[in-house]
Amino acid sequence: MNLQLFGPSAKLHHIGLAVNQIDSQYLDQEEITEDPIQRVKVGFVSIADASIELIQPLNDQSPIHNSLKKGNKFVHLCFEVDDIHESLSCAESHQFKVIQQPVPAAAFANRKIAWVYHREWGLFELLERDRTI
Protein backbone atom coordinates (compact mmCIF):
# COMPACT_ATOMS: atom_id res chain seq x y z
CA MET A 1 0.00 0.00 0.00
CA ASN A 2 1.35 3.42 -0.94
CA LEU A 3 -0.10 5.94 1.49
CA GLN A 4 -0.20 9.48 0.19
CA LEU A 5 -0.42 11.27 3.52
CA PHE A 6 1.11 14.45 2.11
CA GLY A 7 0.01 14.18 -1.52
CA PRO A 8 1.40 12.42 -4.61
CA SER A 9 4.47 14.67 -4.94
CA ALA A 10 5.86 13.84 -1.46
CA LYS A 11 9.34 12.30 -1.39
CA LEU A 12 11.46 11.55 1.66
CA HIS A 13 14.03 14.34 1.99
CA HIS A 14 15.79 13.67 5.30
CA ILE A 15 15.68 12.27 8.81
CA GLY A 16 16.10 14.71 11.71
CA LEU A 17 18.23 13.70 14.71
CA ALA A 18 18.76 15.78 17.85
CA VAL A 19 22.33 16.24 19.09
CA ASN A 20 23.75 18.21 21.99
CA GLN A 21 26.43 19.63 19.72
CA ILE A 22 27.18 19.12 16.04
CA ASP A 23 30.52 17.33 16.04
CA SER A 24 33.26 19.04 14.01
CA GLN A 25 34.44 15.53 13.11
CA TYR A 26 31.48 15.28 10.74
CA LEU A 27 30.91 18.86 9.56
CA ASP A 28 32.99 21.99 9.14
CA GLN A 29 31.66 25.20 10.69
CA GLU A 30 30.70 26.61 7.27
CA GLU A 31 28.43 23.57 6.71
CA ILE A 32 26.35 24.43 9.78
CA THR A 33 23.37 26.77 9.45
CA GLU A 34 21.84 28.71 12.31
CA ASP A 35 18.07 29.15 12.13
CA PRO A 36 16.78 31.68 14.67
CA ILE A 37 13.14 31.03 13.72
CA GLN A 38 13.45 27.32 14.61
CA ARG A 39 15.99 28.11 17.40
CA VAL A 40 18.47 25.50 16.15
CA LYS A 41 21.74 24.94 14.33
CA VAL A 42 21.62 22.27 11.65
CA GLY A 43 24.01 20.41 9.43
CA PHE A 44 23.49 17.57 6.98
CA VAL A 45 25.46 14.36 6.58
CA SER A 46 24.89 11.44 4.22
CA ILE A 47 24.88 7.92 5.54
CA ALA A 48 24.32 5.12 3.02
CA ASP A 49 22.47 7.42 0.61
CA ALA A 50 20.23 8.81 3.36
CA SER A 51 20.34 12.47 4.31
CA ILE A 52 20.52 12.99 8.07
CA GLU A 53 19.89 16.42 9.59
CA LEU A 54 21.85 16.91 12.80
CA ILE A 55 19.89 19.39 14.93
CA GLN A 56 21.51 21.27 17.82
CA PRO A 57 19.45 23.51 20.11
CA LEU A 58 20.46 27.18 20.16
CA ASN A 59 19.24 27.63 23.73
CA ASP A 60 16.98 26.20 26.44
CA GLN A 61 13.88 27.52 24.64
CA SER A 62 14.55 25.37 21.57
CA PRO A 63 12.12 22.46 21.15
CA ILE A 64 15.18 20.28 20.48
CA HIS A 65 16.47 21.05 23.98
CA ASN A 66 13.35 19.39 25.41
CA SER A 67 13.76 16.35 23.14
CA LEU A 68 17.30 15.86 24.33
CA LYS A 69 16.28 16.26 27.99
CA LYS A 70 13.78 13.42 27.49
CA GLY A 71 16.46 11.27 25.84
CA ASN A 72 14.85 11.48 22.39
CA LYS A 73 17.32 11.59 19.51
CA PHE A 74 14.93 10.86 16.63
CA VAL A 75 13.00 14.06 15.91
CA HIS A 76 11.23 13.82 12.55
CA LEU A 77 10.97 12.66 8.97
CA CYS A 78 10.93 15.39 6.34
CA PHE A 79 9.09 15.10 3.06
CA GLU A 80 9.70 17.43 0.13
CA VAL A 81 6.47 18.44 -1.62
CA ASP A 82 5.44 20.47 -4.67
CA ASP A 83 2.82 22.62 -2.94
CA ILE A 84 3.12 22.99 0.82
CA HIS A 85 -0.41 24.32 1.30
CA GLU A 86 -1.93 21.43 -0.68
CA SER A 87 0.17 18.98 1.34
CA LEU A 88 -1.00 20.52 4.62
CA SER A 89 -4.62 20.06 3.52
CA CYS A 90 -3.89 16.48 2.58
CA ALA A 91 -2.20 15.84 5.94
CA GLU A 92 -5.17 17.32 7.82
CA SER A 93 -7.51 14.98 5.93
CA HIS A 94 -5.46 12.10 7.43
CA GLN A 95 -5.85 13.40 11.02
CA PHE A 96 -2.54 15.27 11.19
CA LYS A 97 -2.57 18.49 13.17
CA VAL A 98 -0.70 21.47 11.71
CA ILE A 99 1.55 22.71 14.50
CA GLN A 100 3.42 25.33 12.49
CA GLN A 101 2.22 27.07 9.35
CA PRO A 102 4.76 27.55 6.52
CA VAL A 103 7.76 29.74 7.32
CA PRO A 104 11.08 30.32 5.51
CA ALA A 105 13.90 28.03 6.65
CA ALA A 106 17.51 29.20 6.68
CA ALA A 107 18.81 25.65 6.15
CA PHE A 108 16.92 25.41 2.85
CA ALA A 109 17.71 28.78 1.25
CA ASN A 110 14.48 30.21 2.71
CA ARG A 111 12.24 27.60 1.10
CA LYS A 112 9.11 27.16 3.19
CA ILE A 113 8.73 24.45 5.82
CA ALA A 114 5.73 23.49 7.93
CA TRP A 115 5.28 21.04 10.77
CA VAL A 116 2.52 18.48 11.27
CA TYR A 117 1.90 15.99 14.05
CA HIS A 118 -0.07 12.76 14.25
CA ARG A 119 -0.70 11.19 17.64
CA GLU A 120 0.20 7.71 16.36
CA TRP A 121 2.94 8.56 13.85
CA GLY A 122 4.69 11.53 15.43
CA LEU A 123 6.26 14.68 14.01
CA PHE A 124 6.79 15.40 10.30
CA GLU A 125 8.35 18.32 8.49
CA LEU A 126 7.11 19.36 5.06
CA LEU A 127 9.56 21.18 2.78
CA GLU A 128 8.37 22.98 -0.31
CA ARG A 129 10.31 21.83 -3.37
CA ASP A 130 12.60 24.35 -5.06
CA ARG A 131 10.70 25.38 -8.16
CA THR A 132 13.77 26.93 -9.84
CA ILE A 133 15.38 23.53 -10.48
Specify whether the backbone of 128 is left (phi greater than 0), alpha (psi in -120 to 50) or beta: beta
pLDDT band at 133 (very low <50, low <70, confident <90, very high): low
pTM of the model: 0.91
What's the pLDDT tens digit per position in 37-77?
A: 889 999 999 999 899 999 999 999 998 999 999 999 999 99
What's the pLDDT tens digit per position in 13-30?
A: 999 999 999 988 888 888
Domain 11-128 fold is: 2,3-Dihydroxybiphenyl 1,2-Dioxygenase; domain 1 (3.10.180)
Rounded Cα distance between 89 and 97, Å, is: 10
Domain ranges of the chain: 11-128
Phi, psi of 96 (to 5 degrees): -85, 145
Rounded Cα distance between 43 and 92, Å, is: 29
What letter would DSSP give residue 66? H
Average pLDDT over residues 76-91: 97
Average pLDDT over residues 82-105: 97
